[in-house]
Amino acid sequence: MKDVFETIRVEAHQRVMTHMVLGQVSGELPRHLMQGTKETGYIVNKDTVTEWYWDNVIDRGGKRYLIFRELEVVPFSRLFTTDRTDMVKILRNLAFAMTKLPTDFIQSHNGFIELWRIFVITHESFLFLPKTLSDIILFTADDEIRYEMYGQFVKAQTEVPFALCHQFTQLLYTACTLKTPYHDRDVREDRWNHMPLSILQCKIDGQLARWIDQNLVIGYRTQREVTSAASSSAQNLSWWLRETAQFDHITITETRSFEEMVGQSSEARSFLTQQRRRASQRVFWRKKGALIISVTLASAIVLSIIGNYVVQQLKPPYTAGMDGPMIISEFFDSLNALDATRMEASFARRVKNPFEHEVTSLFVNSKVRMAYEGKDTIITADQWVENGKPSIPSYAMIYGVADVRIVQTKENSYRALFRYFIPDEDPDAPADETFGASGNKKAPGYWVSESEMVMDFVLTDQKDYWQIQDIQVVSSVPVGTYMIETHEVETTMSPMMF
């Protein structure tokens, strides 16, 4: 919608009000968003913080409007095109203003902020909308707005206290290129490998370009070292302000767009071509891997029936020809598919599968329930996390890994960092829960346990193809056990009858 966040000056009953377009009317707003005390927004001008109140949200002429007392504001996101030259200074002013907000104002589960909460009065004065209005905009906006102003900034494997520091670095990148670093799907599929400013030959200060590139790939350990978990992500922006103080005087003289810079750099075009290939391979193996493995297993069965045991034993695994990171990715994709055979296909002799018990047990359980109840009970963790952790069917469970990151530690050695989800029980539930009249336990949701895990893999190519020679669990840090909302779903398949 082109006129979203446009403002109209309306004078009525001797009062001058501003009407801001939030989007098209798409059904009634949830009641809880329009009930209770209105949350306060804030206007921050340098060191001065002033409370800001809004009047109402109305639907008129097919559009939804936010009404408040007259105030000239523009969406912060618009400044990247209108005030690109001064964006380093503006971003530093904005970061400073956010450190002045109350500690609980952002209220974000992942630390990132929706850009539709930020409006500009002057280059040193900003309006911040409260969480209630942000939720109303989220409900009203279309998918494009949600992605452009929030979704594309949310990067997996970012510590919550460090999230705003990372988001502001992304905004610096956006000011230099007129495109966010993780906008394209290929970048996200390629393990968040952004286009370096040095390859783009962006016409900005070289030291600033190097700082942006380095801090977009900053590691977990450094994120924890430079921020405090006891502080809000907004308060932790003080680190970002200290780091960028050296660039306060810099103006952005680059006038080209990202696409224009790519068109003028053969190195950038080569980078995108290789990235597209890597992303395509990753998507292919995620979507088609099960089919390919099924064909391979069927071939193995035929060979075993005709007695060709020796040939079967000497046959290279389906992972032959893959490099180390791809083999390890296949290991985790197979875990999510509950396929122990695929997981162990690339194992050298005497290598033990650390997840064998859980995978085998859940595989048998899921197949039995599918046969007798007609229900697919397993939802993979990566699918659930990618979809925003929605509620799940009451009969289902979450299992698997998500946000897998693989780094090479030395020759033929790799380290995998990932989130591990496994079904659990309410830790506070009594041992003798009362059963409902129907004989079923009544629970408000489903419980899952999450851990942050680190595993080391050692590979060998003694057979002219790579195999996993050793797997070691380096660490497993519990994140917590929490409840997931569930909903009832009608069964579409009839259970087996005897």
Q: What pLDDT does residue 451 have?
A: 93
Q: What pLDDT does residue 221 have?
A: 87
Angle between helices 266-305 and 324-336 (to 10 degrees): 60
Average pLDDT over residues 85-97: 97
Domain ranges of the chain: 7-264, 321-487
CB distance 482 to 448 below 8 Å: yes
Cα–Cα dist 130/149, whole Å: 16
**Tokens at residue 44, please?**
């921050």
Average pLDDT over residues 188-208: 93
351: left (phi over 0), alpha (psi -120 to 50) or beta: beta
The number of C-alpha atoms within 13 Å of 270 and in the hemisphere containing its C-beta is 4
**Which class for 113: exposed (0-12), middle (13-18), buried (19 or more C-beta within 10 A)?**
buried
pLDDT above 50 for 493: no
- Count of Cβ atoms closer than 10 Å to residue 338 Cβ: 23
**Which class for 172: exposed (0-12), middle (13-18), buried (19 or more C-beta within 10 A)?**
buried
pLDDT above 50 for 441: no
Cα–Cα dist 329/198, whole Å: 29
pLDDT band for position 434 (cuts 50, 70, 90): very low
Q: What pLDDT does residue 68 have?
A: 96
Q: What pLDDT does residue 257 have?
A: 95
pLDDT above 80 for 492: no
pLDDT digits (tens, 9 = 90+) for 293-315: 766 676 666 656 655 545 555 67
Give the CATH architecture of domain 7-264.
Answer: Orthogonal Bundle (1.10)
Give the Å distances, CA to CA, from 123 to 92, 93, 173, 466, 494.
10, 7, 19, 56, 63
Looking only at the bridges linking them, the beta strands covering 63-69 and 56-60 are: antiparallel
Q: What pLDDT does residue 436 have?
A: 39
pLDDT band for position 175 (cuts 50, 70, 90): very high
pLDDT band for position 232 (cuts 50, 70, 90): confident
Cα–Cα dist 55/34, whole Å: 12
pLDDT digits (tens, 9 = 90+) for 43-78: 999 999 999 999 999 999 999 999 999 999 999 999
Pick from 463, 448, 336, 459: nearest CA to 402: 336
Ordered DSSP codes for 105-125: SS--SSS---GGGEEEEETTE
Q: What pLDDT does residue 193 have?
A: 94
pLDDT digits (tens, 9 = 90+) for 256-287: 999 999 999 999 999 999 999 999 998 888 87
pLDDT above 50 for 124: yes
High-pLDDT (> 90) share of the chain, %? 63
Q: Which residues contact 84 (CB under 8 A, 6 or more apart)?
A: 175, 178, 252, 254
CATH 2.10.25 fits 321-487, yes or no: no
CB distance 52 to 70 below 8 Å: no
By mean pLDDT, which of 47-51, 171-175, 447-451 is the weakest? Answer: 447-451
CB distance 171 to 252 below 8 Å: no
Average pLDDT over residues 248-256: 93
pLDDT digits (tens, 9 = 90+) for 347-368: 988 899 999 999 998 999 888 8
Average pLDDT over residues 449-459: 94
Q: What pLDDT does residue 318 have?
A: 86
In whole numbers, what is the pLDDT of the chain averaged over residues? Answer: 88
Cα–Cα dist 227/215, whole Å: 14
E strand segments, 302-438: 378-380, 392-393, 397-410, 413-423
Q: What pLDDT does residue 72 have?
A: 95
E strand segments, 312-380: 378-380
